[in-house]
Chain A
Amino acid sequence: MPEANVRHRPAVAMALSLLFAGLGQLYNRRYIKGILFLIIEAAFLITFYNFLNIGLWGLVTLGEIPMLDHSIFLLIQGLVSVIIIAFAVALHVANVIDARNDARRRQRGEPFPSLVESCRNAWDRGFPYIFVTPGLVMLLFIVVLPLLFMVSLAFTDYNLYHSPPRHLLNWVGFENFKNLVSIPIWKSTFFSVLAWTIVWTVVATTMQIALGLFLALLVNDPRIKFKRFIRTVLILPWAVPAFVTILVFAAMFNDKFGAINREVLSLFGLSVPWMTDPFWTKVALILIQTWLGFPFVFALFTGVLQSISRDWYEAADIDGATRWQKFKSITLPHVLYATAPLLIMQYAGNFNNFNIIYLFNDGGPAVRGQNAGGTDILISWVYDLTFTTNNYNMAAAISLIIGLIVSGFAIYQFRRTRSFKEEGNM
């Protein structure tokens, strides 16, 4: 049994293990553990030294000699290096904390668990983490790495004239963001596209939810017969792939040759410039999105409506509640409570609803003096920038802004939704 040892200093153990993992443990006279830590750190340095060295150098300089250094490869290697180093730093910190804790125990003269015991402890406590870890590591490389890459590009000058391997990239700081709000051709377009994106998101999504809710309530009424048949019919728009529907609609809305003007509106002597006037194109897009989006909401609400207990309505009837009062105080809160997170996803989805904008009219019609079409939303504009004019840096900067808006919105809403607050209290 070790005795209390006031002269054993935790600070020394910490400093030593900071210098090189395992040294502190050796100072604590925990030899097996110390040697294990030493071997792990040495192995890490030997294996990764060259990779990390090039990676960090590349991340800072983005290469020095054109045609030999490829900035994109160097950037990715640099980001991988940062992730590996983050892991290493986390382990190193754990090693320092471990050395301090052991040193304090020795100072107080407490006994140490044997190797077998500590292994068992670690297994018992760490069991869930051990099983989660592989997934997390995968996630890091599949999700976080591309994200970091995109974010990095927003701070470089990666465009057609600075494309590796012939040219190297440079870090330009916040210049791309500055250009976005200061250079006229970007500025006017950016704000008008952003404004329409927000209007589009709010109006189109709200309409699809409202229509879905309205139809769900109607079909759920006990007086309606052939419910199953009606439901099947109403879900049909969902069953046809969206891109097919959109292309068919694009043909139907053609000003001169489309069925809507030619067969339907001509009966009333009307002809609406669906494809050539920005306002009417926007109206057409919102109508189409309502058509495409309501079946999902309808199906969702139909399911939830059936779970509301009849007793509540009976109780309300006894109290003499009107139809509207029952809807407002029983149905609506119940339905929204259960579906809020999915409805928020609908808003986020429409914010980035590339398909419909691109396929219907490719963001058109054109607007004089603007860099994007009359109905381009941010994401379709980004697509244009990347694939027709190779402005990768600006596309990345705008994507970053889109990401911030969507995630900010989502986080705010999720935190205020009660169904998510109760997570973990099941």
Chain B
Amino acid sequence: MRKALSLFLMAVLFVGLLSACGPKRDAEQPKQTNNGTEEAKKPEKLVVWVNDDEKQKQALKDIFQKYTEKTGIKIEMVAVNMLDQTKKLALDGPAGKGPDVFYQPHDRIGDIVLQGLADPVDLGDAKDEYSETAVNAVTYDGQTYGVPAVVETYGVFYNKNLVPEAPKTMDELMKIAKEKTNAAKDQYGFLMEATNFYFVYPFFAGYGGYVFKNENGKYDTSDIGLANDGAVKGAELVQSWFKNGYIPKEITGDIMNGLFTKGNVAVAITGPWNIASYKEALGDKLATAPLPVLDNGEHPKSFVGAKTWMLSAYSKNKEWAVDFMKFVTNEENSLHYYEVAGEMPANEKALTNEKITNDPLIAGFAEQIQYGEPMPNVPEMSQVWEPMGNALQFIAKGDNPKAVLSEAVKTIQDKIAASGAGK
């Protein structure tokens, strides 16, 4: 009895504490950004998170220095690994320790906007300076988030010892594959990671496949075009490579790189990040080209990735941060960045500058960019990779492409639904 009484009193005390509820405050909107009619006050410094890479930091240091000379605003450069930045920003931003500007691959934009970490940036007149693909890449829900800095896509590497000229069409490529492949001796005419959706997508898209329908800068995630006739046609093409024994179904990036650098592969499809190691192994025999044209006359539409300067939602100096981002990516600075860090600029004028078009190892990729399309930047994209990768494994094994792709699309839809989208 006594125990019951004391327990009851304890509960009363506890509930009393509970109902003494919460912080006292007016339920007003947390922040009102002043879309300033007046000139924004010049800050003393801007904090910028850059990717933790020695060459990139070195290139950016010079550019930041120039900006300080021009405007008198100090730039505090903080190196944070690009892929860790959003996690860190989610914690540092609310605590007031975050940056004004941070650096992200464009396909993360959907996640970032969902988490409310970035504000849209008005590119204004500068919009025409950037390549259309790059601007599309940073457009989400009809608004541009961030200023694109560099772009990358994949293309053809070829070994001039084995093939004097790059294959222009798919037929030529298949002829090379037929003539030069001798799997027993580890000799291959043509290799690519054909079970990796990232590299296989252009062959789907070239025939009319698509991931999510894109209309006016908005992706319709309920409309998935990875099992339509075009996608199936592309999948059949990919499957024929395995069936004819051109590409072993156990192919991985490591194996491909190993064989290519040994000089056993005539043509390989991969990205510019392999330039350094390939060049070291093959020297002048190495050259690049855009992807060969399909039999319907279309260029395969490779995925383009854009790395982007983004505006932190917690920044207090938004106007100047945007000014800064545009300065870093202007033609002159983009070229400087390309020369030091070796990455292709998103700035159209810089990309078509002869410094880049005359570089035999970059020219192929720079040309391929114009045929490419940006990777979808909606968060639902993260549900696509695994089912499609699995589908390609089944296709490599010889399963019916139509059935496999329909299943994969169903899985993607289920995963999107199960992940809590739209609730």
Q: Which residues of A contact B (CB under 8 A)?
A: 11, 14-15, 18, 52-54, 56-58, 60-61, 64-68, 70, 73, 85, 89, 92, 96, 157, 159-167, 179, 183-186, 254-257, 275-276, 364-369, 371, 384, 388-391, 393
Question: Is B17's CB under 8 angstroms from A160's CB?
Answer: no
Q: From known contacts A60-B18, A65-B27, A255-B250, infer whether A14 and B6 are also in contact, taking CB-CB under 8 Å.
A: yes
What residue of chain B has the Cβ atom nearest to residue A258's Cβ?
A: B250
Q: When the two chains form the complex, which single residue of A68, A166, A184, A366 contacts B115, counting CB atoms closer than 8 Å?
A: A166
Give Cα A85 to B389, complex, Å: 50
What residue of chain B has the Cβ atom nearest to residue A19's Cβ?
A: B9
Q: When the two chains form the complex, which single residue of B17, B313, B385 contacts A56, counting CB atoms closer than 8 Å?
A: B17
Question: Is A165's CB under 8 angstroms from B393's CB?
Answer: no
Enumerate chain B residues within 8 angstroms of A89, measured Cβ to Cβ: 10
Would you call B276 an interface residue if the criterion is a C-beta within 8 Å of the partner chain's C-beta atoms? no
A-B contact count (CB 8 A): 133
> How close is A239's CB to chain B, nearest CB, in angstroms?
26
Enumerate chain A residues within 8 angstroms of B111, measured Cβ to Cβ: 160, 390
Enumerate chain A residues within 8 angstroms of B393, measured Cβ to Cβ: 276, 364-366
Can you list 6 A-B contacts (CB < 8 A)?
A14-B2, A18-B9, A57-B21, A185-B411, A185-B415, A367-B390
What residue of chain B has the Cβ atom nearest to residue A70's Cβ?
A: B94
Question: Is A257's CB under 8 angstroms from B255's CB?
Answer: yes
Question: Is B115's CB under 8 angstroms from A164's CB?
Answer: yes
Q: Find residues 409-423 in chain B having any chain A CB closer than 8 Å to their own CB.
A: 411, 414-415, 418-423
Q: When the two chains form the complex, which single residue of A70, A96, A160, A275 contacts B114, counting CB atoms closer than 8 Å?
A: A160
Enumerate chain A residues within 8 angstroms of B31, measured Cβ to Cβ: 67
What residue of chain B has the Cβ atom nearest to residue A366's Cβ?
A: B390
Enumerate chain A residues within 8 angstroms of B385, measured Cβ to Cβ: 388
Enumerate chain B residues within 8 angstroms of A70, measured Cβ to Cβ: 94
Would you call B4 an interface residue if the criterion is a C-beta within 8 Å of the partner chain's C-beta atoms? no
What residue of chain A has the Cβ atom nearest to residue B10's Cβ?
A: A89
Question: Is A67's CB under 8 angstroms from B255's CB?
Answer: no
Question: Is B248's CB under 8 angstroms from A256's CB?
Answer: yes
Enumerate chain A residues within 8 angstroms of B249, measured Cβ to Cβ: 256, 276
Q: Find residues 39-75 in chain B having any chain A CB closer than 8 Å to their own CB.
A: none
Question: Is B382's CB under 8 angstroms from A390's CB?
Answer: yes
Would you call B262 an interface residue if the criterion is a C-beta within 8 Å of the partner chain's C-beta atoms? no
Give Cα A59 to B415, complex, Å: 30
Enumerate chain A residues within 8 angstroms of B383, measured Cβ to Cβ: 389
Q: From known contacts A53-B17, A159-B420, A389-B383, infer whether A67 and B116 are also in contact, taking CB-CB under 8 Å.
A: yes
What residue of chain B has the Cβ atom nearest to residue A10's Cβ?
A: B2
Q: From known contacts A11-B2, A60-B18, A89-B10, infer whether A391 and B27 are also in contact, taking CB-CB under 8 Å.
A: no
> How close is A368's CB to chain B, nearest CB, in angstroms?
6
Q: When the two chains form the complex, which single residue of A73, A157, A388 contacts B382, counting CB atoms closer than 8 Å?
A: A388
Q: When the two chains form the complex, which single residue of A164, A185, A275 contacts B414, counting CB atoms closer than 8 Å?
A: A185
Question: Is B27's CB under 8 angstroms from A165's CB?
Answer: no
Enumerate chain A residues within 8 angstroms of B390, measured Cβ to Cβ: 366-368
Q: From known contacts A60-B18, A166-B116, infer whether A254 and B250 are also in contact, taking CB-CB under 8 Å.
A: yes
Would you call B30 an interface residue if the criterion is a C-beta within 8 Å of the partner chain's C-beta atoms? yes
Would you call B407 an interface residue if the criterion is a C-beta within 8 Å of the partner chain's C-beta atoms? yes
> How close is B390's CB to chain A, nearest CB, in angstroms?
3
Question: Is A388's CB under 8 angstroms from B386's CB?
Answer: yes
Give Cα A162 to B115, complex, Å: 8
Q: When the two chains form the complex, which single residue of A15, A65, A183 contacts B418, counting CB atoms closer than 8 Å?
A: A183
Per-residue A-contact encoding for B112-137, CB less than 8 Å = 1, 0 else: 01111100000000000000000000
Since A166-B115, A256-B249 are in contact, a sample of 9 more A-B pairs with Cβ atoms closer than 8 Å, ordered by chain A residue number, is: A57-B21, A57-B23, A67-B31, A92-B10, A165-B116, A179-B418, A366-B389, A368-B407, A391-B420
> How close is A393's CB to chain B, nearest CB, in angstroms?
8
Would you call B36 an interface residue if the criterion is a C-beta within 8 Å of the partner chain's C-beta atoms? no
Question: Is A371's CB under 8 angstroms from B419's CB?
Answer: no
Question: Is A52's CB under 8 angstroms from B17's CB?
Answer: yes
Question: Is A68's CB under 8 angstroms from B30's CB?
Answer: yes
Question: Is B394's CB under 8 angstroms from A161's CB?
Answer: no
Per-residue A-contact encoding for B1-37, CB less than 8 Å = 1, 0 else: 0100010011000100110111100010011000000
Give Cα A66 to B17, complex, Å: 25
Question: Is A18's CB under 8 angstroms from B94's CB?
Answer: no
Question: Is B6's CB under 8 angstroms from A18's CB?
Answer: yes
Question: Is B250's CB under 8 angstroms from A366's CB?
Answer: no
Enumerate chain A residues within 8 angstroms of B316, measured Cβ to Cβ: none
Enumerate chain B residues within 8 angstroms of A85, measured Cβ to Cβ: 14, 17
Question: Is B255's CB under 8 angstroms from A371's CB?
Answer: no
Rank and list the top 10 A-B pairs by shortest CB-CB distance, nearest first. A166-B116, A366-B390, A57-B22, A68-B30, A256-B250, A185-B414, A159-B420, A163-B115, A255-B250, A161-B420
Give Cα A129 to B289, complex, Å: 74
Would you call B97 an interface residue if the criterion is a C-beta within 8 Å of the partner chain's C-beta atoms? no
What residue of chain A has the Cβ atom nearest to residue B389's Cβ?
A: A366
Question: Is A161's CB under 8 angstroms from B419's CB?
Answer: yes
Would you call B279 an interface residue if the criterion is a C-beta within 8 Å of the partner chain's C-beta atoms? no
> How close is A360's CB to chain B, nearest CB, in angstroms?
13
Enumerate chain B residues within 8 angstroms of A366, measured Cβ to Cβ: 389-390, 393-394
Give Cα A257 to B257, complex, Å: 13
What residue of chain B has the Cβ atom nearest to residue A184's Cβ?
A: B414
Question: Is B22's CB under 8 angstroms from A54's CB?
Answer: yes
